[in-house]
Structure 1
Amino acid sequence: MARISQVVFIVLMFTSPAVAVAGPAEDANAAVDRWSAAFNSNDPETIAKNYCPDAILLGTVSPVMSEGTQAIIKYFTPTKGTGNKNAIDERRTITIDDNAVEVTGFYTFTRMVEGKAVPGPSRFTMLVTKRGSEWCIAHHHSSPHVLPKN
């Protein structure tokens, strides 16, 4: 009976789905995806929760640096309830170490202007860091994406 139990155990071990352990790059990209989903909520407080408390944001449409939670909430306040959206189009990931990852790429903001969706292609760089057991955005730079001329 013990031999049958061992065989069953071994068979179950080899046929069970493997548990995947995410690394820093996957965790940082998940944090960037959470930020995008939070942006789509159009709630400044929800968006700000994705940033580290001492984060610096160089926003796409801001002439100043937004430093810290309250400044980031203030930056996103004009988007509250607007229906604006964000979609990440392309990204690259550079793992600096187990606690810091840079994610850079292109995304498109869709802003509602007089009831019409207006796309705003932009580019971004985010430094995502692990603080304790959580990943948050420590630095975020965003600017309009100049599209190639045809």
Structure 2
Amino acid sequence: MAKNALLSTLSASLLLSLTPLPSYSSESPECAEASEDDIAALFDRWNDSLATLDPDQVVDNYSPDAVLLPTLSDETRDTPDLIRDYFVDFVAQEPQGVIDERNIKIGCNAAYDAGVYTFTLVDEEGNETEETARYSFVYSYHDGEWLIEHHHSSLMPE
């Protein structure tokens, strides 16, 4: 029995050692310089892409393996197609966001921006509503640009 457990462990270890991990760049890892203003500007870039009403431009802000936990859907979006699918409906509401409060932390080729934002949305009759939500963006820097790796947004509890 111990021999079978040992063989299973060795087999699993070998399999894991042969599994390729994603690599975004062939360059040696160097830490990209970024200030809080640089990271804050990534929200502005994303928000500006919403204003185009083009879901493809919004998706361009996300890494290929990003995860989106969206405000107005209970479905985890973990592929570019699923993320795009969410934004097809979301951009139809002409969303524009404003940061109410934020916390930014920066590491080596990674940063997060978390806080509260408020979106103005327009319904089919042209009526505006506001939705306030908690948010977190986790960004990574690869191939010369910052992209969203993880985005979570949830409506504020009432």
Global fold match (TM > 0.5): yes
Aligned equivalent of 2:112 = 102
Report the TM-score, using the length of structure 2 for normalisation.
Answer: 0.72
* Whole-angstrom distance in 1 between the partners of 2:105 and 2:69: 20
Check conservation: 1:24, 1:100, Cα contact below 8 A.
no
Alignment of 1:1-150 (within 5 A): 23=34, 25-95=36-106, 97-113=107-123, 114-146=125-157
* Whole-angstrom distance in 2 between the partners of 1:137 and 1:38: 13
Aligned equivalent of 1:17 = none
Shift, 1:41, TM fit: 2.2
Check conservation: 1:24, 1:101, Cα contact below 8 A.
no
Aligned-partner residue type, residue 77 of structure 1:
V
* Whole-angstrom distance in 2 between the partners of 1:115 and 1:23: 39
Moved more, 79-88 or 55-64: 79-88
* Whole-angstrom distance in 2 between the partners of 1:26 and 1:137: 16
Check conservation: 1:58, 1:66, Cα contact below 8 A.
yes
Moved more, 39-48 or 58-67: 39-48
Cα RMSD for the two superposed structures:
1.9
Deviations 1:32-82 (A, max 9, x none): 221111122222111111111110000001111101211111011113444
Shift, 1:126, TM fit: 0.7
**Percent of aligned pairs with the same amino acid:** 33
Aligned-partner residue type, residue 92 of structure 1:
N
Q: 1:40 to 1:87 in 2, by over 3 A?
A: farther
* Whole-angstrom distance in 2 between the partners of 1:99 and 1:24: 12
Structure 1, unmatched stretches of 5+, are 1-21
> What SS does the corresponding residue of 2:94 show, helix, strand or coil?
coil
Aligned residues: 126
* Whole-angstrom distance in 1 between the partners of 2:83 and 2:58: 8
Report the TM-score, using the length of structure 1 for normalisation.
Answer: 0.76
Which has the larger share of strand? 1
Give the number of the structure whose alpha-carbon radius of gyration is greater: 1
